[in-house]
Amino acid sequence: MNKKLGVYICHCGGNISDYVDVEKVKQAVENEEGVFIAKTTIFACGDANQKEMVDDIKNNNLDGVVVASCSPKLHLLTFRAVTERGNMNKYNYVHVNIREQASWAHSDNKEGATEKAILLVKSAIAKVRLSEPLYPIKISSKKAVAVIGAGVAGMRAAIELSNMGCPVTLIERDHFVGGRVAQWDVLFTTNQTGKELVTNLYNDLINRKNITLLTGAEVISNAGSIGDFKVRIKKTPRYIKEKCNDGHLLKAIQACPIEVPDDFNFNITNRKAIYHNFPSEYPHYPVIDIKNCTRCGECEKICESVDFTQKEEIIEIEVGSILMATGFDSYTPAEGEFGYQKFDTVITLPQFKRIIDLNDKKLTFKGKEVKSIVYIYCVGSRQIDGDNKYCSRYCCTSVIHAAIQTKKKFANIQNYHFTRGIRTYGKQEILYSDSLKSGDIYLQSYEEDPPVVLRENGNTLVKINDILTGGKEISVKADLVVLVTGMIPRKDNKVGALLKLPKGRDNFFNEIHMKLRPVETVIDGITISGACQGPKNIMESVNSALSAATKSFSYVSKGMLALEPIIARIDKNLCTWCGACAEACPFDAISVEKDENKDIAAINNSVCKGCGMCLPVCPVNAINLIAYSDNEIESMIDALAGV
C-alpha cells in the first residue's frame, strides 16, 4: 500500500508566495514518506503546469497527488481531472488550501503562515497515503424536470426544456399563470403588453404534449435527490368544470355576494369570491376562492359549471431535476412610510401600473383626476436603516417607463421624479433621455435626507432638499404619490425550505458561484432562475431561465448520472444493528439487512449523500465515511499536531 506521491506547491503568482515561503514548504515536505516528486509552480492551474503534472504522473507511475494552492472550491475538480488524464484514480488526489487559509488569512505573519502551510501540506500527504481509488456510482436519471412557478421565467424554461425533448411538469401555486408580468401593461423595449407576452407563452406551452401544467398546485414534500426527485404536489380544485359555459359563469360572478380585495390589482379594486384575473387570463376559466366563499349557493343556481364536489388531489411525480422560478414579492411599505396608508394619495408602483391599465382616457384615482404625479424612488431598497441593503435593479427603468406611458395615455400629466441617482443601466439610458426630453422633472435627495410627504390644506406635498439644484428645498404638490417599491424575496418560502435551498445575505436564493455559476445551487440537481435569485427585469429573467433550463437538461439528458462515491460504509463484523444510524440518517438511506446469522445495517448507495450523520451515533463505531475514515482523520491530526 506504499504510494508514490507527487506534491505541488503553488505560488499563485504571488498570492501565496508573497506571504508563504513556498520553497521552504517544499523542502519541509519533500522527504515525507512516499513523496517522490515535490515541486513549486507559479500557477498550478495553468495549462503548462497541468501538462507537466500529467507527464509526471505518467512517467513516474504516481498513485497519489497533492496540490497546495487556493480553495478547493476553485480547483479541486481541475486537479482531479489532471490526475485522471495521467491515468490515476482521481480520488487519490488531495487538495490543500494554503491561500485563503494560510497566505491570505495570515498575511500579517509570514512565518506563521509558512509554518501552517507546511503542516497543512503534511496532513494532506498523510491523508493521500491512506486514500483508496474510488469509482463513481452510476445511477439512472429520470428524463423529466419539475419547473416550480409559472411566471414568465418558469413558462419560458418549460418551453425550452420541451423543445429539447424533455418532459416538464410546470407547477403554479396560483390558479392562473403569468406571475407578475401578467399584471403589467406595455413592456419596455418592445411594445408588447405583459398580457400578450403571457398569452403567447401560454398558447405555446398548453398545446405541447410533454408539458403538464398544474395550477393551484403546491409542492408539499420532496424526497430523493438528483436524477430521482420524488415530488408530491397538492392541487386545490377550482370548483369550476373545465368545459364551462361562459355566459352563465359571467352571471354567476355577478351573482356572488362576496367582495374581497383583489390582489391581482394589489388591492386597489375588489373582486368576488368567484373570479377571473383579467379578461384573458390562463387557464381561461374562473376559480372559486374557497377561503372567502360562504357557500351561499347563488352561483350554483345560475351556472351548471360550478362544482363544489371537486376534491383536493395529491399528485406524485418523479423528475431528474427541479428548476425554481418562484419569483419575488413587491415590497410593501410600512404604515406611514412616505405617508403610505396615512394619506390616500400615496400608492406603490405596482398599484400605479394597475391604475394606468384600468383607467381609460382620463387618469383618475379615488374619483379625482390626476395631473401631478410624484415618484419617490428606492422605497424598500438601498435602505440605510432597514435590512434591504440591495438595489432592486429594475425599478428606475420600470418607473420611468410607466411615467412615459402615463403621459402617452393621458393628457396634461406632469411627472416629478424624486430619485437617489438614476440607474437606467445599459441601453435603458435612452429611456431616461427620452423622459428628460419629454419634460419630466428629476430631483435627487441626499442619502441621509429623504423626501418628506405631508398634508397641507387638503393637498399632498412632497418636499426634498435637491442635490441637483445645490441643496435647494423644493416642494411639489402631488395628486398622486407613487412609491417606487422594489423586489423582495418571497415571504412564503415553504418550497425553498422544503428543498433546503440556501439563501444569500439578501435572502434571495443563493447560487453556487456569483460570477460563473449563477443558476446552479449547492443542492445537486436543483437550479434557480428569474427573480427568486435576485432582482431582474424580464430579459434578464428569461436569460437566467434558459440558462437554468440548459443546466437542468444536462442533468437529465443522458438518462444517467455518475455520483460521488463518497458514502458511508458499514463494518459488518462490528455492526450489531441497534438502528441508531437509520434513525440519524436524514435521507432514509439505511435499512436493516440479514448477513449470515445476524442483522446488520445496510447503506443504499444511490441515496446516501455522504453527510456522515450516522457516524457519531454508532455505539460500536462500525461506520466510516469513505475518504473520511478514522485512519485518515487521525493521520491528519497526527500531521497537524506535528507528531
Partner 1 sequence: MSSEKINTSFDALVIGGGIAGGESALNLANNGFRVLIIEKDLSIGGKMILLSKVFPSLDCSACITTPKVSEISRHPGITIFTNSKVKSIIKKSKNDFEAEIIKYPRYVITEDCTGCQLCEEACPVIIPDQYQYNLVGRKAAYIPFSIASPRVAAIDIENCTLCGACEKVCPTNCIDFTQETEEYLIKAKTVVVATGFNLFDPIKIPRFGFGSYKNVLTSMQMERQLAPTRPFNTILRPGDAKVPDNLAYVLCTGSRDVTIGNPICSQICCMYSIKQAQLLMGALPMADVTIYYINIRSFGKGFEEFYSQAKGMGVDFIKGKIGKITEKENGNLILRYEDINENKVKESEHDMVILSVGVLPNPDNATLFHGEELKLDPFSFVNQTEPLASPSRTSIEGVFAAGTATGPMDIPDSILSAGSASSEAISYLIKKP
Partner 2 sequence: MPGGKANNNPKILVFSTEKISDPAIDMAGLLKLHYPPTVYTISIPCSSGVKPIWIMYAYEKGFDGVFIAADGSDCPYGDSCTEKTGKIIGHTHALMKEMDIEPARLRMAAICSVCSESFVKQMKSFNEYLLKNSNV
Residues that bind partner 2 (CB under 8 A): 71-73, 97, 99-109, 111-113, 115-116, 119-120, 123, 500, 502, 504-505, 510, 522-523, 566, 584, 586-587, 609-617, 621, 625, 628, 630, 633-634, 636-638, 640-643
Binding mask 46-65 for partner 1 (x = CB under 8 A): xxx-x---------------
Stretch that binds partner 1, among 119-127, 319-327, 516-524, 585-593 (CB under 8 A): 516-524
User: Do 269 and 260 touch, CB atoms closer than 8 A?
Assistant: no
Query: Cβ of residue 520: shortest distance to partner 2, in angstroms?
Result: 13
- Least separation, in Å, of the C-beta of 156 and partner 1? 7
What does the alpha-carbon distance between residue 195 and residue 453 come to, in Å, rounded to a whole number?
Answer: 34
Give the whole-angstrom CA distance, residue 419 versus residue 134. 59
Question: Per CB under 8 A, does 502 bind partner 1?
Answer: no
Residue closer to partner 2 (CB basis): 115 or 281: 115
- Considering only residues 383 to 412 of the shown chain, the ones binding partner 1 according to CB under 8 A are 389-391, 393
Please choose which of partner 2, partner 1, none residue 133 contacts, taking the beta carbon within 5 to 8 angstroms, the exact cut-off set by kind. none
Reading the block at residue 369, the C-alpha cell is 383626476
CB crowding 141-158: b at 16 or more within 10 Å, else e: bbbbbbbbbbbbbbbbbb
Nearest-approach distance from CB 119 to partner 2, in angstroms: 6
Question: Min. distance of Cβ 85 from partner 1 in angstroms?
Answer: 8
User: What's phi and psi for 284, nearest 5 deg?
Assistant: -85, 55
Beta bridge partners of 321: 145
Note whether 3 binds partner 1 by CB under 8 A: no
CA-to-CA dists, residue 265 to 173, 183, 254, angstroms: 18, 8, 18
Of 164, 402, 483, 526, the one binding partner 1 by CB under 8 A: 164
Of residues 27-46, those binding partner 1 (CB under 8 A): 42-43, 45-46
CB of 141 to partner 2, least distance (A): 20
Among partner 1, partner 2, none, partner that 102 touches (CB below 5 to 8 angstroms by kind): partner 2
User: Out of 435, 544, 624, 635, which residue is the one contacting partner 1 (CB under 8 A)?
Assistant: 544
Size of the site for partner 1 (CB under 8 A): 83
Query: Candidates 33-41, 118-126, 475-483, 553-561 — which segment interacts with partner 1 by CB under 8 A?
Result: 553-561
| β-pairing verdict for 459-466 and 452-456 | antiparallel
Is 441 a residue that touches partner 1 (CB under 8 A)?
Answer: no
Nearest to 490 by CA among 146, 157, 149: 149
What's the rounded Cα separation, in Å, for the pair 137 and 227?
12
Q: Report d(CA 278, CA 290) in Å as an integer.
A: 19
C-alpha gyration radius of the chain? 31
Contact with partner 1 (CB under 8 A): which of 189, 199, 210, 405? 189
DSSP 475: E
| Rounded Cα–Cα distance for residues 582 and 560 (Å) | 27
> In this complex, which beta carbon is closest to partner 1, that of residue 365 or of residue 416?
416
Contact flag: residue 592 with partner 1 (CB under 8 A): no
Min dist CB 24 to partner 2, Å, is: 13
**Most distant CA pair in the chain: distance in Å?**
92
- Residues 6 or more apart from 76 whose CB is under 8 A from it? 95
Site string for partner 1, 363-382 (x = CB under 8 A): ------------------xx
Nearest Cα to Cα of residue 246 among 175, 178, 183, 302: 302
User: Contact region for partner 1 (CB under 8 A) — 171-179, 499-507, 592-600, 612-620?
Assistant: 499-507
Q: Does 633 bind partner 1 (CB under 8 A)?
A: no
- Distance (Å, whole) CA 288 – CA 307: 10
Where do the H-state alpha helices sit in 359-471?
Answer: 395-409, 429-437
Check binding of 126 to partner 1 (CB under 8 A): no
**Residue with smaller CB distance to partner 1, 368 or 513:** 513
> Hey, which residues between 194 and 223 contact partner 1 (CB under 8 A)?
197, 200-201
Per-residue string for binding with partner 1, 284-323, x by CB under 8 A? ----------------------------------------
CA distances from 41 to 29, 36, 38 (A): 15, 16, 10
Smaller CB distance to partner 1: residue 52 or 300?
Answer: 52
Which of partner 2, partner 1, none binds 549 (CB below 5-8 Å, type-dependent)?
Answer: partner 1
**Should residue 116 be labelled a site residue for partner 1 when binding is judged by CB under 8 A?**
no
Q: What is the DSSP letter of 227?
A: T
The DSSP element (H or E) to which 27 belongs, if any, is: helix 22-29
Taking the C-alpha atoms of residue 189 and residue 516, their distance in angstroms, rounded to an integer, is 27
Backbone angles phi, psi at 6, to 5 degrees: -115, 135
